[in-house]
C-alpha cells in the first residue's frame, strides 16, 4: 500500500534536504559564487539573496514533476547533475540550502491556487528575513522566475510580514 504524501510532507522533506546539504561542495560553491558576484563583504543582504536565487535559476532548468508525483532531488545532487532540471520544490530547496550555507535563515512558503482537490498547494517559494535600508524585511524568492508574469512573485519584498495584511500573511503554525 502506498502512502499519500501531502504538500506539508514535501516541504518537510525539502527542509531536511536543504539542511543536510548546506555544507556540500556543490551547494557551497554556488553560494560562494553568488555571494562574491553580489559584491562579497560590501554587498547588502538583498543583493546576496537575489544573487543566490539567480544562480539557482540559471543553473537549473525548470521541469515539472511527471504525472503529478513529487520527486525532490537533494540540492547537492541536483547541482552536481550534468544537466540539472527540477521543479519549484527542488529549485527552492537548492536556494534554501545555499542561503543556509552563508548564514541566512530561509523558510518555505506554499502557494495555493487550485481548490478543486484535497491538496490545493501548487507552488513553493523561499522566504528569507534580511536587513535592508535600515529595516527588517522578508524577501520572497522564486527560483523558477524567468521574467514572465508567472514568476512575478519572485520579486516580492514583504516588510509587513510580521503584521500580516490580508491573506498573504497566513502562514503555517510555527513559522
Q: What confidence tens digit (pLDDT) does each residue in 46-96 have?
A: 999 999 999 999 999 988 877 667 778 899 999 999 999 998 899 999 999
Q: What is the pLDDT of residue 72?
A: 84
Do residues 136 and 129 lie in contact, with contact meaning Cβ atoms separated by under 8 Å?
yes
Average pLDDT, the chain: 80
Given the C-alpha cell 528569507, which residue does it identify?
128
> Distance between CA atoms of 94 and 27, rounded to whole angstroms?
7
Q: Which of 120, 118, 134, 130 is nearest to 170 (CA)?
A: 120
What integer is the mean pLDDT of 94-112? 93
Provide the angle, in degrees to the nearest 10, between the axes of the packed helices 7-21 and 88-101. 40
DSSP 92-156: HHHHHHHHHHTT---EEEEEE---SSS--EEEEEEEEEEEETTEEEEEEE-TT--SSGGGGGGGE
Q: What residue numbers bound the domain in which 40 lies?
A: 7-169
Do residues 154 and 125 lie in contact, with contact meaning Cβ atoms separated by under 8 Å?
yes
Kindly report the CATH number assigned to the domain that includes residue 42: 3.10.620
Q: What is the pLDDT of residue 24?
A: 97
Given the C-alpha cell 539557482, which residue does it identify?
56
Which long-range contacts (C-beta less than 8 Å, at least 24 apart) are formed by 168-173? 171/109, 172/8, 172/110
> Distance between CA atoms of 109 and 115, rounded to whole angstroms?
17
Q: Is residue 174 assigned to a domain?
A: no
Q: What is the pLDDT of residue 38?
A: 93
Q: What is the pLDDT of residue 165?
A: 35
Q: Is residue 36 assigned to a domain?
A: yes
User: Per the structure, how many domains does the chain have?
Assistant: 1
What integer is the mean pLDDT of 1-26? 85
Sorting pLDDT into bands at 50, 70 and 90, what band is 147?
low
Q: What is the pLDDT of residue 4?
A: 62
Q: Is residue 2 assigned to a domain?
A: no
> Distance between CA atoms of 81 and 146, rounded to whole angstroms?
21
Candidate from 29-33, 118-122, 148-152 with smallest mean pLDDT: 148-152
pTM for this model (two decimals): 0.80
Q: Is residue 1 assigned to a domain?
A: no
What integer is the mean pLDDT of 91-107? 96
Q: Is residue 25 assigned to a domain?
A: yes
pLDDT at 159 over 50: no
Q: Is residue 29 assigned to a domain?
A: yes
Amino acid at each position: 500500500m502506498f502512502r499519500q504524501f501531502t504538500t506539508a510532507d514535501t516541504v518537510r522533506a525539502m527542509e531536511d534536504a536543504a539542511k543536510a546539504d548546506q555544507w556540500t561542495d556543490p551547494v557551497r560553491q554556488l553560494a560562494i559564487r553568488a555571494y562574491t558576484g553580489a559584491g562579497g563583504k560590501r554587498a547588502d543582504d538583498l543583493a546576496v539573496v537575489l544573487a543566490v536565487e539567480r544562480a539557482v535559476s540559471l543553473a537549473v532548468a525548470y521541469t515539472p514533476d511527471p504525472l503529478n508525483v513529487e520527486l525532490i532531488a537533494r540540492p547537492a545532487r541536483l547541482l552536481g547533475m550534468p544537466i540539472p532540471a527540477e521543479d519549484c520544490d527542488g529549485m527552492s530547496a537548492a536556494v534554501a540550502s545555499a542561503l543556509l550555507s552563508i548564514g541566512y535563515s530561509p523558510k518555505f512558503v506554499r502557494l495555493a491556487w487550485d481548490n478543486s482537490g484535497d491538496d490545493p498547494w501548487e507552488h513553493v517559494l523561499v522566504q528569507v528575513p534580511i536587513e535592508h535600508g535600515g529595516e527588517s524585511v522578508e524577501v520572497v524568492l522564486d527560483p523558477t522566475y524567468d521574467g514572465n508574469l508567472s514568476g512575478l512573485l519572485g520579486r516580492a519584498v514583504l516588510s509587513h510580514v510580521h503584521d500580516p495584511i490580508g491573506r498573504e500573511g497566513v502562514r503555517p503554525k510555527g513559522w
